[in-house]
Chain A
Amino acid sequence: MTVAQRIRAFLATTPGRAAALAALGDDDSLIDRGLLDSLGTLELSAWLQEEFGITVDEIDLTADNFESISAISWYVERRVTAVEDPGRRP
């Protein structure tokens, strides 16, 4: 599974989200569709850290990074790179 697919699968585990996610493209806004609220971001952040072994800094919990599945995937890939190559800026 790709990073995006894993994120989509996790998001679908929350009751009430699965049907809406099925009709959502990876670039569509999770926020504007009401699929990711403030607490949902924290919930997702905790899962990302455990699932991908990354650190999600508090200041990174922004709309830019959590707008869509694509944005989250891109953020995760940058963080994974930072873990694997600490000298490189994410």
Chain B
Amino acid sequence: MDFGLTAEQSAYAATVAEFAARELNDAIAERDRDSAFSAEAWRKCARLGLTGLPLPVEHGGGGADAVTTAAALEALGHGCRDNGLIFSLGAHLWAGAVPIARFGTDAQRRRYLPAACDGSLVIAHAATEPDAGSDPAQLTTTATPVEGGFRLDGGKTFVTNAPVAGLFLVLATTNRVRRHAGLCAFLVERDTRGLTVGPPTDKMGLRTSPMADLHLDGCHVPTDAVLGPPGAGMAIFNATMRRERGFILAPAVGTMRRHLDQCVAYARGRRQHGRAIGDFQAVAHRIVDMRLRLDTARTLLYRFAWLLDEKRDTDSDAALLKLHLSECLVQSASDAVHLHGGSGYTTALGLERELRDALGGRVYSGTTEIQKNIAARLLGLGVGT
């Protein structure tokens, strides 16, 4: 394993960090308060190539390998304080565009990927239902074969990007008795009759990332809307979740680095009892713990990316990475609030928003407990999920 970045990778990461700090941080407090997604910031990300970074070059993407992608996302997290925008980007890439690139037909790739890359098409992944989250075998949204295609019926919840998405990757079952073996993935365009997007979901954090429920009521889709070969729904779901778990929090490494930089600067400048507060062991040790969490999380991220580039098995690594990164991010944001005292607790510095945003990481893409269950199962332990 070599975690050293090439000169080209480092230069690209520096470009992304500088761009993000300069272009993506306008009026975040106001947009957070108003739950407003920034279409302008999305377009700027697209112009830099971020909405298609790991996608094939022939369809307008950047063709970046996993390590390059990790470096760019870390840089994005360091420069950009709009965590909701970053989350939307992650959902678009890992749960939408990448599965199409990986499993789509040539026609599907040509139809959707160029627009996904240039930012004109936002993709949403619709899997979770009110009674089925981390266990897709329990999905109740049905796909019934009809002449020329399928009829989709059911409801999806917590669909990130739904209010702004032009395309939905919908997971449904063609045979509930067969549980995971009955799953099928569909590409459903927003204007398809029978598809309705509910009102925006109000959330604690990541408020600039739009979310809504999805209703499918006699929604007819053609046969060529099926993603992947027949019976591959579960394979597509597993592959999608592997990358989502591995990369959805990659920007958080940059975010934690930003927290650390900010806390070190504050601890060196803020004086109490005639000394910089960083001279107090209790403060210094808290910051050292932040550094340790950053380094361990970063190592796991780049190890995962390296394994992916090596085409090695990464299911367990993805679960452990998501688990560790999400917990480290929450603690990092909490420490940043704490170290800044009263100022950290107010909205003025934006650190309380960082903490609210971080808490979502323990929940989306499978909770911390689900990640532990996955890792346990892959160790050969008979833990149910």
Contact = CB atoms under 8 A, between A and B. Distances in A.
Chain B binds chain A: yes
Interface of A: 13-16, 31-32, 37-43, 45-46, 49, 55, 58-64, 67
A64 B136 CA distance: 19
A39 B102 contact: no
B313 A58 contact: no
Interface string B367-385: 0000000100110101001
A49 to B, nearest CB: 6
A14 B382 CA distance: 6
B25 interface: no
Given A37-B179, A38-B136, A62-B232, A16 B315 contact: no
A37 to B, nearest CB: 6
Contact of B178 (A32, A41, A59, A64): A32
Given A38-B137, A46-B313, A62 B380 contact: no
B103 interface: yes
Interface of B: 102-103, 136-137, 177-181, 228-229, 231-232, 234-239, 242, 311, 313, 315-316, 374, 377-378, 380, 382, 385
Given A13-B380, A46-B313, A55-B311, A62 B385 contact: no
Contact of B103 (A14, A39, A42, A59): A59
Given A13-B380, A14-B382, A55-B311, A62 B235 contact: yes
A59 B228 contact: yes
Most chain B CB within a 10 A radius of its CB, from A31, A39, A42, A49: A39
Is chain A's interface secondary structure helix, strand, loop, or mixed overall?
Answer: helix
B238 A58 contact: yes
Nearest to A49: B313
Contacts of A55: 311
B313 A62 contact: no
29 contacts: A15-B382, A31-B181, A32-B177, A37-B179, A37-B180, A38-B237, A39-B374, A41-B180, A42-B238, A42-B315, A42-B377, A42-B378, A43-B380, A45-B313, A46-B315, A46-B316, A55-B311, A58-B239, A59-B103, A59-B229, A59-B232, A59-B235, A59-B239, A61-B235, A61-B239, A62-B231, A62-B232, A63-B178, A64-B231
Contact of A38 (B103, B232, B238, B313): B238
A16 B382 contact: yes
Q: What are the 6 tightest A-B residue pairs by CB atom distance, in nearest-first order?
A: A63-B181, A15-B382, A58-B239, A61-B235, A38-B180, A62-B231
